[in-house]
């Protein structure tokens, strides 16, 4: 009998856990190492999502583990009014690797927490309260961050924060605005802000965006879009907040995804990848914004603000990424992965689109490329078959699109592991199509 069916474990899970979305995999994960997690039977499962899109250096990286052990013994947690060297050193390092204008940092625990702080800073600095984001966005599940999240979680909780607005994300695979047969994202953006201006009470504080909308279907903002968006913000006296929870720290083949567009946000938030799987996030902004917010009494005490242990982990993550040239590795490995996905696209009519950058890629599952109709049952069946074969994949299902696999292996993934993942994905699609289980 499989150890994954341990009746006491599942009885306790059903009786004592609050379910927080979706369902749990019917297995017990006992350990994780590198690009794999291992269930209670010792079966290796290739992790193509880096845990929760976070384990940038793979699971159980020995240098990260060493930092955790050292600081668990010697310096783990402090009163929020105290400072330690890891906190100041990490803030200094973040200022060194980001463009001028992102000179000061606050270290927190989660992406939602960082976005919450960023939104509060934007409101305090501008003296306004309206926040705009994309209709497919995901910025977190806390109050302000949830109000700026539109891809899920809005039904049944009462009103969002006053002044919450959304515009459509530019979606080249399913363009809403076209000119001479090509996607006209500028016309879409102009029209979207015309509608925002008509709804605004004159209190536009900030736009918060991901350079690549991950939970929104792996939608990469087209080249030039981010600069145009920044101009829209400047024209209205808004701040631009960029949420690089998943795109930051090398994943896209650049240290930060916004570097491709030559745009510097007013506020940058980092999380997931900065801690490489441990709870660490950061808010970065300019000295000018920080000084003004401080003068106006900016308040954001949390239990784990400026904790030394996660800060030390963040320092080690940045050290490893830089020392081991993992930004370049993400670009090279990402190209290998993308080439493999495009080969599968040519072979299987259900792969409608391949998109993304570096080691953050997506494939959209449809009934056929010609019709582009969403195929949620097919996507779900492929996901299940992948897990059966030993490949952990994550699919998001949103209205108006097919199911989109978010593929984000660690930056330390080997060529052999990339090829294995592609082989397992191919086998999963073949098995599902052959069986007709999703029809």
Determine whether 4 is exposed, middle or buried from the number of CB atoms within 10 Å of its CB (0-12, 13-18, 19+).
middle
What pLDDT score does 49 carry?
97
pLDDT tens for 76-86 read: 999 999 999 99
CATH architecture label of 3-60+326-435: Alpha-Beta Complex (3.90)
Is 406 an active-site residue? yes
For Cα atoms 93, 98, 100, give the angle at the middle one, nearest 5 degrees.
Answer: 110
Angle in degrees, CA 56, 61, 67, rounded to 5: 105
User: Does residue 261 carry a catalytic annotation?
Assistant: no
70 in catalytic set: no
Average confidence (pLDDT) over 82-97: 98
Close Cβ partners of 300 (under 8 Å, ≥ 6 residues apart): 106, 116, 117, 120
pLDDT digits (tens, 9 = 90+) for 384-420: 999 999 999 999 998 888 899 999 999 999 999 999 9
- Res. 361: pLDDT tops 90: yes
7-20 pLDDT, tens digit each: 999 999 999 999 99
- Which token pair is 331? 């670009």
402, 373 contact by CB (below 8 A): yes
Is 415 marked active-site? no
Sign of CA dihedral 151, 156, 157, 161: positive
Mean pLDDT of 232-249: 98
Q: What is the spatial distance between Cα 317 and Cα 315, in angstroms, rounded to a whole number? A: 5
Measure the CA–CA gap between 202 and 197, rounded to whole angstroms.
8
What per-residue confidence (pLDDT) applies to 198?
98
Q: What confidence tier does 424 reach under pLDDT thresholds 50, 70, 90?
A: very high
Given 39, 113, 210, 417, the catalytic residue: 210
Q: How confident is the model at residue 24 (pLDDT cuts 50, 70, 90)?
A: very high
What are the pLDDT digits (tens) for 147-179? 999 999 999 999 999 999 999 999 999 999 999
pLDDT tops 90 at residue 439: no
Going across the sheet that includes 281-285, the strands are 104-108, 281-285, 267-270, 239-243, 204-209, 130-134, 164-167
Active-site annotation holder among 47, 116, 138, 290:
138
User: Do 3-60+326-435 and 75-323 have matching folds?
Assistant: no
Of the residues 232, 244, 246, 367, only one is catalytic, namely 246
- Residue 204 has what pLDDT? 98
Distance CA 250, CA 313 (A): 16
Count CB-CB contacts under 10 A for residue 181. Answer: 6
Q: What is the pLDDT of residue 1?
A: 83
What is the DSSP code (8-state) at residue 369? T
Instruction: Single out the catalytic residue among 123, 236, 251, 272.
Output: 272
| 288 labelled catalytic | no
Class of domain 75-323: alpha beta
Query: Mean pLDDT, to the nearest integer, of 361-384?
Result: 95
Domain borders along the chain are 3-60+326-435, 75-323
What pLDDT score does 315 carry?
98
Residue 264: predicted pLDDT = 98
Distance CA 139, CA 115 (A): 7
User: How many Å apart are CA 216 and CA 320, to the nearest integer?
Assistant: 30
Among the listed residues 39, 47, 243, 290, the single catalytic one is 243
Distance of CA 332 to the CA centre of its chain: 20
pLDDT digits (tens, 9 = 90+) for 188-231: 999 999 999 999 999 999 999 999 999 999 999 999 999 999 99
Quote the DSSP letter at residue 345: H
For the chain, give the longest Cα–Cα distance. Answer: 65
Residue 103 and residue 276: Cα distance in Å, rounded? 22
What's the start-to-end Cα distance of the chain, in Å? 32
pLDDT (average), residues 258-280:
97
Concatenating the DSSP letter of every residue in 204-272 gives: EEEEEE-SEETTTTSEEPPTTHHHHHHHHHHHHT-EEEEE-TTTTTTTTSSSSGGGGGT---SEEEE-H
The model's pTM is: 0.96
DSSP 129: -
For residue 180, pLDDT over 60 is answered with yes
- The predicted pLDDT at position 22 comes to 85
Catalytic residue among 290, 367, 406, 417: 406
């Amino acid at each position: 009998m499989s150890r994954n069916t341990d009746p006491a474990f599942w009885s306790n899970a059903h009786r004592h856990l609050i379910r927080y979305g979706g369902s749990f995999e019917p297995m017990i994960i006992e350990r994780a190492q590198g690009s794999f997690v291992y269930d209670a039977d010792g079966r290796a499962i290739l992790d193509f999502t880096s845990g929760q899109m976070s384990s940038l250096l793979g699971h159980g990286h020995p240098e990260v583990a060493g930092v955790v052990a050292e600081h668990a013994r010697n310096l783990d947690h402090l009163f929020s009014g105290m400072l330690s060297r890891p906190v100041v050193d990490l803030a200094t390092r973040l200022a060194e690797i980001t463009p001028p204008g992102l000179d000061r940092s606050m270290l927190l625990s989660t992406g939602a927490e960082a976005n919450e702080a960023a939104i509060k800073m934007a409101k305090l600095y501008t003296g306004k309260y309206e926040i705009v984001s994309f209709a497919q966005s995901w910025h977190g599940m806390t109050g302000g961050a949830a109000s700026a999240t539109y891809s899920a979680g809005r039904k049944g909780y009462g009103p969002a924060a006053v002044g919450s607005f959304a515009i459509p994300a530019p979606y080249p695979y399913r363009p809403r605005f076209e000119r001479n047969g090509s996607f006209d994202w500028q016309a879409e953006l102009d029209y979207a802000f015309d509608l925002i201006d008509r709804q605004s009470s004159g209190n536009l504080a900030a736009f918060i965006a991901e350079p690549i909308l991950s939970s929104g279907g792996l939608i990469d903002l087209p080249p030039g879009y981010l600069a145009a968006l920044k101009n829209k913000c400047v024209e209205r006296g808004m701040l631009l907040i960029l949420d690089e929870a998943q795109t930051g720290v090398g994943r896209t083949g650049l240290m930060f995804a916004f570097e491709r567009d030559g745009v510097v946000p007013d506020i940058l938030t980092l999380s997931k990848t900065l801690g490489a799987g441990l709870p660490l996030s950061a808010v970065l902004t300019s000295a000018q914004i920080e000084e003004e917010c401080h003068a106006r009494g900016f308040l954001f005490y949390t239990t784990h603000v400026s904790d030394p242990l996660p800060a030390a982990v963040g320092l080690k993550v940045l050290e490893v990424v830089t020392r081991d040239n993992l930004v370049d590795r993400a670009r090279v490995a990402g190209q290998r992965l993308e080439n493999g996905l495009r080969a599968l696209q040519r072979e299987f009519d259900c792969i409608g689109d391949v998109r993304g950058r570096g080691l953050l890629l997506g494939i959209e599952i449809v009934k056929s490329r010609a019709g582009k109709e969403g195929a949620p049952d097919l996507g779900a069946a492929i996901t299940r078959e992948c897990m059966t074969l030993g490949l952990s994949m994550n699919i998001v299902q949103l209205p108006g699109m097919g199911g989109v696999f978010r593929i984000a292996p660690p930056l330390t993934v080997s060529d052999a592991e990339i090829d294995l993942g592609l082989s397992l994905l191919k086998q999963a699609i073949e098995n599902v199509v052959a069986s007709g289980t999703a029809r």
